Amino acid sequence: MDEHAVRELLESVRQGHSSIDEALGRLRSLPFEDLGFAKLDHHRDLRCGFPEVIYCEGKTTEQVVTIFEARIGKGGNVLATRVTAELAGVLLKRFPGAENCPAGRTITLRQRPAVTGEGRVTIVAAGTSDLPVAEEARVTAEIMDQQTESIYDVGVAGIHRLLAHTKTLQSASVVVVVAGMEGALASVVGGMVDCPVIAVPTSVGYGASFGGLAALLAMLNCCAAGVTVVNIDNGFGAGYTAALINRQALTRSVAKPDDS
């Protein structure tokens, strides 16, 4: 249940359209609902600004469907990550309004209209092999009502490809940089922009990349200021953080008094 739904419920009680017992019935599953195999956090949207996200890896199809259905019943947008093609087929058939992003391995269901601000989250990927992680970040930011723009296949092996997008990068509010191999792209982008940069190391690379560890360590040792790092292949975490940063910037911009 999100803040909008709680406000509507309280207003309904205030105006006498709903009884106190009816309101208590709707609030009874807060802060969580015990599904037996999972305790679904219905209070997270009120605390954190977005409902609990369904991480599908390691869960059975039946478990994911049950959680998805319970989430829908409480309102707000729904996001499921690490969705296999087989599971996506089941969810799309069961929930016709859902949308699948095969590249990002995500399923989303929008239950409230998007309210986007002026800021933009720009997603930058070094190579085509990094797209699954980049697309996970993009979908996450968008279901959290952020405008996004993607710049893909601009790794440092052909730096001119990145420099061609300098103007776009410098107009972004937040930049998410996704790269495997040696992870150098985050340092380069960090030295080009004046906004926060969220670096995402990927497990893409040959043997000595150690499944993304080389990129992770390189990004942690980035010499450019303003670059923070999430875990290997964690496009979701990067997209979520980028959305929160952009929301805060918008909130402060709206709240700031007019100097004129």
Task: Give residue 206's pLDDT.
Answer: 94
- Domain assignment present for residue 96? The answer is yes
Identify whether residues 154 and 97 lie together within a single domain. Answer: no
pLDDT at 254 > cutoff 80: no
- Domain assignment present for residue 47? The answer is yes
Identify whether residues 128 and 224 lie together within a single domain. Answer: yes
Identify whether residues 59 and 94 lie together within a single domain. Answer: yes
How many contiguous H segments (helices) and E segments (strands) does the chain have? 11, 11
Identify whether residues 49 and 163 lie together within a single domain. Answer: no
Round to whole Å and give the CA distance between 175 and 114. Answer: 21
**Are the CB atoms for 80 and 91 separated by under 8 Å?**
yes
Identify whether residues 95 and 42 lie together within a single domain. Answer: yes
Residue ending a domain, among 109, 142, 160, is 109
What percentage of the chain exceeds 90 in pLDDT? 66
| Residue 213 DSSP class | H
Summarised one tens digit per residue, pLDDT across range 28-69 is 556 777 788 888 887 787 777 788 889 999 999 999 999 999
Which of 145, 173, 149, 169 shows the shortest CA–CA distance to 159? Answer: 169
pLDDT at 253 > cutoff 60: no
| Residue 42 DSSP class | T
- Domain assignment present for residue 3? The answer is no
Identify whether residues 102 and 196 lie together within a single domain. Answer: no
Q: What φ, ψ does residue 81 adopt, rounded to 5°? A: -115, 165
Identify whether residues 93 and 130 lie together within a single domain. Answer: no
**Are the CB atoms for 210 and 203 separated by under 8 Å?**
no
What CATH number corresponds to the domain at position 179? 3.40.50.1970
Summarised one tens digit per residue, pLDDT across range 86-143 is 999 999 999 999 999 999 999 999 988 887 778 899 999 999 999 999 999 999 999 9
Residue ending a domain, among 109, 138, 165, is 109
Identify whether residues 238 and 165 lie together within a single domain. Answer: yes
The pTM of the full predicted model, rounded to 2 decimals, is 0.84
Do the strands 78-81 and 106-109 form a parallel or antiparallel pair, or are they unpaired? antiparallel
Task: Give residue 180's pLDDT.
Answer: 95
pLDDT at 157 > cutoff 60: yes
Task: Label residue 260 by pLDDT band (50, 70, 90).
Answer: very low
Which of 187, 167, 178 shows the shortest CA–CA distance to 242? Answer: 178
**Residue 31 in tokens:** 């802060």
- C-beta neighbour count of 63 within 10 angstroms: 16
Task: Label residue 14 by pLDDT band (50, 70, 90).
Answer: confident
- Domain assignment present for residue 166? The answer is yes
Range 161-185 average pLDDT: 95
Amino acid found at 259: D
Range 69-88 average pLDDT: 91
Question: What is the average pLDDT score of the chain?
Answer: 88
**Residue 158 in tokens:** 């052909």
Instruction: Name the one residue in this structure whose structure tokens are 């776009």.
Output: 168
Summarised one tens digit per residue, pLDDT across range 114-129 is 877 788 999 999 999 9
- Domain assignment present for residue 26? The answer is no
Identify whether residues 84 and 166 lie together within a single domain. Answer: no
- Domain assignment present for residue 14? The answer is no
What is the number of domains present in the chain? 2
Summarised one tens digit per residue, pLDDT across range 190-206 is 999 999 999 999 999 99
Identify whether residues 233 and 208 lie together within a single domain. Answer: yes
Q: Which domain holds residue 202?
A: 120-250
Identify whether residues 128 and 246 lie together within a single domain. Answer: yes
Task: Give residue 251's pLDDT.
Answer: 58
Residue ending a domain, among 88, 109, 130, is 109
Range 230-241 average pLDDT: 96
**Residue 29, CB half-sphere, CA atoms under 13 Å: how many?**
15
Instruction: Name the one residue in this structure whose structure tokens are 């969220």.
Output: 198
Identify whether residues 103 and 125 lie together within a single domain. Answer: no
- Domain assignment present for residue 7? The answer is no
